[in-house]
């Protein structure tokens, strides 16, 4: 078990970090890209994990010089995701960390998902009631890689940023954590791959 005893607060990203939902997320984006004329690049979409959907659409418009309506594309992607039959499972490695520290540390989730989706998914897995706070795309003005998501979580936990550790699975999320002045632990393919950064 990773030693987090020197920290006063723990923050998990949700998709791809605490919940194995990146595959579902990418499948929904594939359908969306096909409908709205974006070339589909699974690696690029994965690299944007944690970025709110509206901002992802803005980035796709800019990258491919397409002028699609941002709200329309984001709404379609959300509906496409909701139509997928599987409910993503929790990731054992990060769940073990969550369960080990939940009684000794305040734990929050900071996600680029919208609140409705995050609450549904975390409630399904009986996680949400254990959280000190949930920060979603609906709660911030600036999504990842901006540090606002994690700074808001730290403030709500009454923990200084430098006393927080963040678990993330994307470089965008890692940058947000480091720019917030927090330590970051990376998760790749469901495994904790690095020590404290």
Active site residues: 13
Q: Pull the structure tokens for residue 108.
A: 């929050």
Judged by phi (left if over 0) then psi (alpha if -120 to 50, else beta), residue 11 lies in beta
Determine which helix (DSSP H) or strand (DSSP E) holds 47, and give its type and residue range: helix 42-47
- Is residue 110 within 8 A of residue 149, CB to CB? The reply is yes
Q: Please state the separation of Cα 71 from the chain's center in Å.
A: 20
Residue 163, Cβ density class (10 Å: 0-12 exposed, 13-18 middle, ≥19 buried): middle
The C-alpha atoms of residue 126 and residue 135 are separated, in whole angstroms, by: 17
27: Cβ contacts below 8 Å, ≥ 6 apart: 84
């Amino acid at each position: 078990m990773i030693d987090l005893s020197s920290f006063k607060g723990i923050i998990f990203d949700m998709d791809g970090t605490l919940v194995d939902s990146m595959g579902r997320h990418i499948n929904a984006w594939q359908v969306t890209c096909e409908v709205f004329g974006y070339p589909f690049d699974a690696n690029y979409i994965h690299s944007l994990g944690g970025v709110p959907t509206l901002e992802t659409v803005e980035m796709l418009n800019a990258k491919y010089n397409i002028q699609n309506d941002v709200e329309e594309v984001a709404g379609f992607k959300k509906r496409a995701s909701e139509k997928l039959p599987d409910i993503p499972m929790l990731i054992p490695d990060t769940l073990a960390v969550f369960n080990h520290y939940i009684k000794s540390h305040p734990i929050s989730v900071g996600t680029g998902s919208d609140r409705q989706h995050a609450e549904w998914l975390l409630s399904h897995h009986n996680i949400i009631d254990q959280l000190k706070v949930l920060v979603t795309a609906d709660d911030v003005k600036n999504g990842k890689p901006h540090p606002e998501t994690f700074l808001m979580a730290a403030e709500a936990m009454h923990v200084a940023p430098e006393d927080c550790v963040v678990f993330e699975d994307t470089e965008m999320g890692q940058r947000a954590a480091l720019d917030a002045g927090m330590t970051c632990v990376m998760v790749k393919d469901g495994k904790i791959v690095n020590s404290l950064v």
